[in-house]
Chain A
Amino acid sequence: DVVMTQTPLSLPISLGDQASFSCRSSQSLLHSNGNTYLAWYLQKSGLSPQILIYRISNRFSGVPDRFSGSGSGTDFTLKISRVEPEDLGVYYCLQHTHLPYTFGAGTKLELK
């Protein structure tokens, strides 16, 4: 199985700061069709996860442009340019290139 390693586990932040999340995979997520199936989700406290980014860098409809995704191969990053209160929660990455699909352990974004 592809192991997804997210760092850090916890990210204390001040509102208005930039936040950066790392997700590394144990093998390349480049599919034979040329796409890379790496997504980011945010789970706010007590709620279901919600999609933020799909295929590395594509923001889902309605996701603010302060969220951006980047990376390739085995190394991926999610950034928030200026953290707002509604951004707090746990961020998960998911690879759906290789079966079985696998999630990272999550990074908790919390106030400093």
Chain B
Amino acid sequence: EVQLVESGGGLVQPGASLKLSCVASGFTFSDYWMSWVRQTPGKTMEWIGDIKYDGSYTNYAPSLKNRFTISRDNAKSTLYLQMSNVRSEDTATYYCLGAGVYWGQGVMVTVSS
């Protein structure tokens, strides 16, 4: 059974940094592009970016490129999202997405002072 389990969310202050993780199981992680997607409290879905199966290439939404970094560790079957200088508008549920098909359960990030 495919599982993607995100962690690392919570309440953070504006301007802080946060790193989300997504541990994958049930499929060959190193064979697939992986993505991060977020859903705002108003239910808008926003694609954040993705990373090639070997970690050699990344794409980002232009509005987030300067503050968010996606990486992966294939030995640990883990995907990461490093968020820096967070803002209130980053408040959302963050999902990892495998091969455009498999979704994690999501992790909430709330940015507030």
Contacts and interface: CB of A to CB of B under 8 A. Distances in A.
A48 B101 CA distance: 12
Interface string A72-102: 0000000000000000001010101001111
A106 B45 contact: yes
B103 to A, nearest CB: 4
A8 interface: no
A48 B59 contact: no
Interface string A45-82: 00011110010000010000000000000000000000
Interface in B59-97: 59-62, 95
Nearest to B61: A100
Q: Classify chain A's interface size.
A: 10 to 19
Nearest to B103: A48
A39 interface: yes
B22 to A, nearest CB: 12
B103 A50 contact: yes
Q: Which of B44, B46, B47 has the most CB of A within 10 A?
A: B47
B43 A106 contact: yes
Q: Which of B43, B62, B105 has the most CB of A within 10 A?
A: B43
B47 A102 contact: yes
B45 A48 contact: no
B100 A103 contact: no
Contacts of B49: 100
B104 interface: yes
Q: Which of B49, B100, B103, B106 has the most CB of A within 10 A?
A: B100
B106 A100 contact: no
Interface of B: 43-47, 49-50, 59-62, 95, 100-106
26 contacts: A39-B100, A48-B95, A48-B104, A49-B45, A49-B103, A51-B101, A54-B101, A60-B101, A92-B45, A94-B45, A94-B100, A99-B59, A100-B47, A100-B49, A100-B60, A100-B61, A100-B62, A101-B47, A101-B50, A102-B47, A103-B44, A103-B45, A103-B46, A103-B47, A105-B44, A106-B45
Interface of A: 39, 48-51, 54, 60, 90, 92, 94, 96, 99-103, 105-106
